[in-house]
Amino acid sequence: MEYTTGQQLKRALMEGRPSRMKSASDYTGIPIPVCGEYANHTYGDTRTPWLSEGTEEESLHDEIVAFILYMTPTQSEIKMRQDLVARFSKLITTLKPGAKVQPIGSYVTGLFLPTSDIDLVLTPPPRHFGSAKLFLMTLESEIYSTRFASNIKAVLQASVPLLKITDAVTGIEIDLTIDQDGHGFRATQLMKTWIEDLDEEGILSALVLVMKQFLGMRKLATTYTGGVNSYLLVWLVVSWMKLEYPKEEDLMNANGIINLGAILISFLKFYGQYFDYTTTVINLQPTPFYGRKTYVFSRYGPIHQYLLSLKDPANESIDLGQKAYAIKHVQSSFREAVKDLQVGMRIGYAGLGEGGVLGQLLGGDYNTFLTKRAIAVMSMEE
């Protein structure tokens, strides 16, 4: 029964469908393969694009550095995003005089990939009355009428209703929510503070960007389908860096430089093998520490003891792990990733071909990604 439930959840994940089965007390975690637009096809160039043709053998550390450099947005891409936010803000003030739009999340922290969506929060006009859901329903039709968007997906049944708006010019998606209690702004400021404090050596940003791509390629990057979204991922990395990284040894290479390959494997091992999801809660305020889960009055209940528990530092009444109901598939995917990297390093670059060692995790069909990135950049040239 547990394996069947796990298979059903895996199928729904790979199809991008939410499928929380609240009656299931547990399920078997299954590694999720690369899927969706990144699934390998029989046509096109499947080389990992951050490794140029003819690249000589590199370490996993070097490949991660190459990945980060390749995925770092160019000045044109940054300007394109700034222009998109400005155009959308102007549209909203035209449609809803007195309303205000502000970016939050990775747009502000800088931890986004070139084709990542943009999180925006809308503060309604001062005399607005009614629910966020109703406001967004009305706004959806108004935005459609302006032809600003090529597509709009309304996710109004979520605990935080939102509109997913695809810009007709750049193809970049906007996730628009309504500000109700200032949570998004507090959360973003806390992330900025922790990133500035911890990312002097670039470890935090490297882990976040690699893991964003890893999760996204497996459709595990949104809590809508039970995965780990960017906000939760950042706090998992922060917690690991404060509580586990100081205990680690052998994370330097022969030259005394931080070894990002060893760090990535250590992170994956911890959340894939060692962390006790059943009994442990991660607290982040005033500084990260582990606590013991209590099930009395718990919203996730005693039958869902497998769920990750991580208290939202912007509102400690919120357990960020509660929505990540596919966490056992995430955990299993992390374990599989460690094996794949270890096998890849044993085989060596020459035996792996164009994908390299990091390609064991992030290899796939990048043709759609490359097209989206090119369209977004070209929109600035027109």
Q: How confident is the model at residue 45 (pLDDT cuts 50, 70, 90)?
A: very low
Predicted pLDDT of residue 315? 94
Number of CB atoms found within 10 A of residue 349's CB:
22
How large is the C-alpha radius of gyration of the chain?
21
Predicted pLDDT of residue 195? 95
pLDDT digit string (tens) for 306-346? 999 999 999 999 999 988 999 999 999 999 999 999 998 88
**51 pLDDT above the threshold of 90:** no
Predicted pLDDT of residue 350? 65
Number of CB atoms found within 10 A of residue 366's CB:
20
What is the mean pLDDT of the segment spanning 128-137?
84
Q: Dihedral sign, CA of 156, 159, 162, 164? A: negative
| Interatomic CA distance for residues 286 and 137, integer angstroms | 38
Name the amino acid, one letter, at 210.
V
What is the mean pLDDT of the segment spanning 140-153?
96
- Give the residue ranges of DSSP H helices in the chain: 2-14, 60-71, 75-95, 106-109, 132-146, 183-198, 203-217, 230-243, 260-269, 327-347, 349-352, 359-362, 367-378
What is the mean pLDDT of the segment spanning 203-223?
97
Predicted pLDDT of residue 44? 44
Joined tokens for residue 82: 């700034």
Percent of the chain with pLDDT over 70: 90
What is the mean pLDDT of the segment spanning 348-369?
84
Predicted pLDDT of residue 187? 96
Predicted pLDDT of residue 381? 64
What is the mean pLDDT of the segment spanning 78-94?
96
What are the φ/ψ torsions at residue 291 (nearest 5 degrees)?
-125, 180
CA distances from 187 to 17, 158, 234 (A): 27, 19, 11
What is the mean pLDDT of the segment spanning 265-289?
95
Tell me the range of 20-34, 68-82, 151-165 where mean pLDDT is highest.
Answer: 68-82
Q: Does 244 or 347 have the greater pLDDT score? A: 244
Strand partners for 26: none
What is the mean pLDDT of the segment spanning 61-74?
94
Q: How confident is the model at residue 292 (pLDDT cuts 50, 70, 90)?
A: very high
What is the mean pLDDT of the segment spanning 192-205?
94
Q: How confident is the model at residue 143 (pLDDT cuts 50, 70, 90)?
A: very high
Structural element, H or E, at residue 122: strand 118-123
Cis peptide bond prior to 286, omega within 30° of 0: yes
